[in-house]
Structure 1
Amino acid sequence: MRFSNSKWVSLCFCLLLSLQIIQGYKESETARTLKLEQGNAAHEVHCSRERSRAAQKIIEEYLMPFVEKEQYQMSRRCRLHSDNDLYRDQEQHKIRVDVNEWKCGYCRKRFYEEKHLDQHFDNRHYDLLNVDEEHGRFCDVLDFSNQSSQVKCKPQKAGISGTHYKPCSVLQSHSRCLADVCGALHCDLVMDSTPRKTKCNPAAASRNQHLCESLADSCFPVNEGPSASRLHEFFLRQFCDAHTCKGGQKPFSRGHRKTRNVFYLIVSILTLMLLLLFYIFIYMHRRGMKGKTVQLKRISKSVQKKKPS
């Protein structure tokens, strides 16, 4: 009887242990599934990297030189501020090794083309996007299509599910997508190597002009001093005046940053080196000719009158 009781106790212990293992496995599976769903949701960022890159290039070349000249500090409320670029950190971690070689600054992996590096960022380093401070929280929003809707964030809780909850970083990433302001900044002129002649759309021109003027008002408020007022006027002339179907006004009329062409620098350096070598050769040649000059001695008259014996 004693043997059967111990056997029963052992059997119960084994059953309890098995149940705990199965329960722990299910909990870990649930946690992994939740983490995967959260990761997939955070990966759903609808923002054109190519157009954002074009917008950033325009800002750096056609706006920032004049902002730096005025020594003006743009507010982070301005959509053109560097902190509001969704791809800022990833673009800063691009390393161009050669003409056909790019390297990832995070993991040092190499690629033949920039577009392959962009895909690598999307697949491997999508968690390093420049999202807002609410990243990692879940939001309850009724209308996901309205980018201007008020977002109320709730702390992340285990087991949250349903279609009404999405990460705040996904919803609010639109405010950090520079591609959204491409219409105001004339990105198509920078992206198209061969400009296409298309019929002007008055509605689109009016919409882009309104967006451009709103950027001027938010980035350079005229009531913040003389520098802001001058930059406000400059922004209107540089970008906004060209949004018209009447013609006559071209974008970037106030100029851009004067960048040095790398090819021009290389050619200039080589030219200077060749000129230096040429003058050294001429100098050495003339010095050698002077060393080989034959000095002819004049024969005295006494030698000339001397008769042979």
Structure 2
Amino acid sequence: MIQQMWFVLLPLLMQLPLSQEKICPRENSRIVAKIVRERIYPAFKAVKMSQTPNCQFALDRDMFSLQEGHKILEGSSRWTCNFCGKSFVSEYFLDRHFENRHMDQIRTTDAICLADVCDIFRCDIISGLSQPDYWDIALCMEDDMQELFAQCEASKALSLVNECIPPGYTKNETDTVKNQVMENLCSFLTCSKFWNTPYQEETNSHTAVYIVLTTMTCFGIIVYNFVFYNYFYSDLVEPSYDPSPRVKHKIKKFQGDMGHRETSQHHLTGTHFQNA
């Protein structure tokens, strides 16, 4: 009986790390961490304020923080695992490598899932999973967006910020941090900004680089093949030999000129006899 239960529980225990990965999406957690690092942390650093231990977007409590810190980007598309030294062509395959080989490097004690606050950080829009169509943009109502903006400031976003601000700071310092954080969290609730992504320019720049490199590579291959063919095969191409004899064209004499000469000679002869 015990052996049968062990064979039943063993596959479930082996799938436990994968279930943790599914519960907390790594990609969404990475999006939140990037926004916090680049747009929210500077507001705290400006007034030299540290976050409270129960802050829901504290990066030092991120369950993937240890693995994310052991990623090395070499060049534009070479990702290396700093645990074992293996390299991959994209970050996606490096994430799968972490899931298969280094699940013991996930934080479990006092850890948080940054993807839990994706509704405030618009992870679906930033990741590109949610794309607007024509009617989403055309039928957007500013009054509805203003209502959402007021709810964002008064409800979840505000409580989220208040949890991260420790006591002992002046009202001016606290208001400064709140205003800057709320500006980054709720300022996109307008018809003109809702579908914008803060990393759109970075993505477009990488895409432009790939397009330019691909075009230059294709052009270089064409030029190389052209030069190679002319250098090695141009001497082998000879004009074709036609064995059939050529037709010789006879040169016709100009009859008008000869007739004119005979007439002139006859006229001179007749004149000579008359004079005689």
What TM-score do you get using the length of structure 1 for normalisation? Answer: 0.50
Other-structure match for 1:215: 160
8 Å CA contact 1:55, 1:187 repeated in 2: yes
Change (3 A) 1:109 1:37: same
Partner secondary structure for residue 44 of structure 1: helix
RMSD, matched Cα: 4.1
> Which whole-Å CA distance do the structure 2 matches of 1:32 and 1:207 have between them?
55
Partner secondary structure for residue 96 of structure 1: strand
Task: Name which of 62, 70, 74 aligns with 1:93.
Answer: 70
Partner secondary structure for residue 63 of structure 1: helix
Residue 101 of structure 1: how far off its partner (Å): 1.6
> Which whole-Å CA distance do the structure 2 matches of 1:240 and 1:57 have between them?
17
Alignment of 1:5-20 (within 5 A): none
Task: Name which of 27, 44, 47 aligns with 1:70.
Answer: 47
Residue 119 of structure 1: how far off its partner (Å): 0.6
Other-structure match for 2:230: none
> Which whole-Å CA distance do the structure 1 matches of 2:132 and 2:117 have between them?
21
Alignment of 1:37-186 (within 5 A): 37-45=12-20, 46-133=23-110, 176-186=112-122
> Which whole-Å CA distance do the structure 2 matches of 1:208 and 1:49 have between them?
28
8 Å CA contact 1:58, 1:187 repeated in 2: no
> Which whole-Å CA distance do the structure 1 matches of 2:128 and 2:9 have between them?
43
Which runs of 5 or more structure 1 residues have no equivalent in the other structure?
1-25, 134-172, 264-309
Residue 131 of structure 1: how far off its partner (Å): 1.7
Task: Name which of 219, 223, 230 aligns with 2:176.
Answer: 230
Change (3 A) 1:128 1:200: farther
Residue 33 of structure 1: how far off its partner (Å): 7.8
> Which whole-Å CA distance do the structure 2 matches of 1:200 and 1:177 have between them?
32
8 Å CA contact 1:222, 1:228 repeated in 2: no
> Which whole-Å CA distance do the structure 2 matches of 1:215 and 1:177 have between them?
14
8 Å CA contact 2:56, 2:164 repeated in 1: yes
> Which whole-Å CA distance do the structure 2 matches of 1:234 and 1:77 have between them?
20
> Which whole-Å CA distance do the structure 2 matches of 1:239 and 1:92 have between them?
25
8 Å CA contact 2:132, 2:195 repeated in 1: no
Partner secondary structure for residue 83 of structure 2: coil
Q: What amino acid does structure 1 have at the position aligned with 2:178? A: H
Per-residue Cα deviation, 1:34-92 (whole angstroms, up to 9, x for no partner) = 67643432431111111111111111111112221211101121011112312111111
Residue 249 of structure 1: how far off its partner (Å): 6.9
Per-residue Cα deviation, 1:183-221 (whole angstroms, up to 9, x for no partner) = 212334532399635366969957982332221121126
Task: Name which of 100, 104, 128 aligns with 1:192.
Answer: 128
Other-structure match for 1:277: none
> Which whole-Å CA distance do the structure 1 matches of 2:148 and 2:9 have between them?
45
Per-residue Cα deviation, 1:251-280 (whole angstroms, up to 9, x for no partner) = 99xx99xx9xxx9xxxxxxxxxxxxxxxxx
Change (3 A) 1:223 1:240: farther
Partner secondary structure for residue 15 of structure 2: helix
Greater mean deviation of Cα atoms: 119-128 or 196-205:
196-205
Change (3 A) 1:208 1:43: farther
8 Å CA contact 1:242, 1:249 repeated in 2: yes
> Which whole-Å CA distance do the structure 2 matches of 1:248 and 1:109 have between them?
43
> Which whole-Å CA distance do the structure 1 matches of 2:120 and 2:93 have between them?
29
Q: Provide the identity percentage.
A: 25
> Which whole-Å CA distance do the structure 2 matches of 1:120 and 1:70 have between them?
40
Other-structure match for 2:242: none
> Which whole-Å CA distance do the structure 2 matches of 1:240 and 1:87 have between them?
26
Per-residue Cα deviation, 1:250-309 (whole angstroms, up to 9, x for no partner) = 799xx99xx9xxx9xxxxxxxxxxxxxxxxxxxxxxxxxxxxxxxxxxxxxxxxxxxxxx
Change (3 A) 1:185 1:232: same
Larger radius of gyration: 2
Partner secondary structure for residue 19 of structure 2: coil
